Amino acid sequence: MMRQAGRYLPEYRQLREQAGSFLKLCFTPEFAAEVTLQPIRRFHFDGAILFSDILVIPHALGQTVRFEAGEGPRLDPLTSEQAIDRLPLAVDQAILAPIYQTIKTVKPQLDAKTALLGFCGAPWTVATYMIAGQGTSDQAPARLFAYEKPKAFARLIDRLVENSIVYLTKQFEAGVDAVQLFDTWAGVLPPEEFTRWCIEPAARIVDGLRRHRPGARVIGFPRGAGAMLADYVKTVPVNAVSVDWMADRAFVRERIQSRVAVQGNLDPLALLAGGDALDRAVDSILQDFRDGPFIFNLGHGILPSTPIAHVERMLARVRGG
């Protein structure tokens, strides 16, 4: 379940307080491994999701990354071509080494039926945070930068593509079974820019990863893609795509599920609401995607205030209990 090791579990909040900072939680293997395993122990999910963050690549490129309580990530923004060009071409792998150690720590503690999923932020989404220094409602700073300085922005995307290939390759070497490429802010782009900054970089990452790891299994998640999801799966050789709760399920069933497996798309607010509304939403999704390859999941990350009892109810419904 997306963001399954997150803030809604009391055992996570306790460990987060013990760690003292979010980055320390991510980069301390014993902490990160424990957070990865917590939801498996409680809910017996079919897959464990590596506990980390999409902004570890900028951090390893030397950009200052910090997490403010209640405000999300904060970075020192890249506001000029010179700032982009000062970034190193390759990340410092010593910084990312604890993440690979987390994978090696978790893998032996999972049974053979439980997959271990790694992930990486897609270049466009990571770049939006690097340019703006934080998340914004429409990612206007990165969109404007890409329009005004397309060559410099392309150089930033190139850095992120190449480093993401290495990062995901090393995750597989450490023991993950599959990875997901998160493009959380893909939906703010118009079609031509979606192709340039979302589809093309994702295709390069998957192709590059499979040069190192033939057969590597990849899930793409271009959130908010809408009808452009068809072009995404046509061009990006993923094994599955996550779809958000806004997606038209008839379109996804007819145009997407016939090509690749589908993952999603429960509205996190339906899970928060619980009760009959949750039951209806779960049943509708299971009905709509029953005839093709499908992974039940949320359409985006679980909300921190979600009651654990609602997660239990959802799982019982999906599992036919």
User: What length is written for the chain?
Assistant: 321
The answer to whether residue 3 is catalytic is: yes
Please pick, among 8, 53, 213, 249, the residue that the annotation labels catalytic.
Answer: 53
The answer to whether the CB of 50 falls within 8 A of the CB of 102 is yes
The answer to whether residue 46 is catalytic is: no
As a whole number of angstroms, the distance between CA 288 and CA 297 comes to 14
Please pick, among 8, 12, 129, 167, the residue that the annotation labels catalytic.
Answer: 129
Name residue, tokens 């190139």: 158
The answer to whether residue 74 is catalytic is: no
Close Cβ partners of 69 (under 8 Å, ≥ 6 residues apart):
none
The answer to whether residue 217 is catalytic is: no
The answer to whether residue 255 is catalytic is: no
Angle at 91 between CA 126 and CA 108, to 5 degrees: 90
Buried b or exposed e, range 64-88, using 16+ CB within 10 angstroms: ebebeeeeebbbebbeeeebbeebe
The answer to whether the CB of 186 falls within 8 A of the CB of 223 is yes
Please pick, among 7, 196, 210, 317, the residue that the annotation labels catalytic.
Answer: 7
Quick one: which of 244, 268, 123 has its CA closest to 183? 123
Q: Which amino acid is at 50?
A: L
Please pick, among 8, 16, 204, 223, the residue that the annotation labels catalytic.
Answer: 16
- Would you tell me how many other CB atoms lie within 10 Å of the CB of residue 192? 8
Phi, psi of 240 (to 5 degrees): -155, 160
Quick one: which of 168, 292, 185 has its CA closest to 219? 168
Catalytic residue annotation: 3, 7, 16, 53, 129
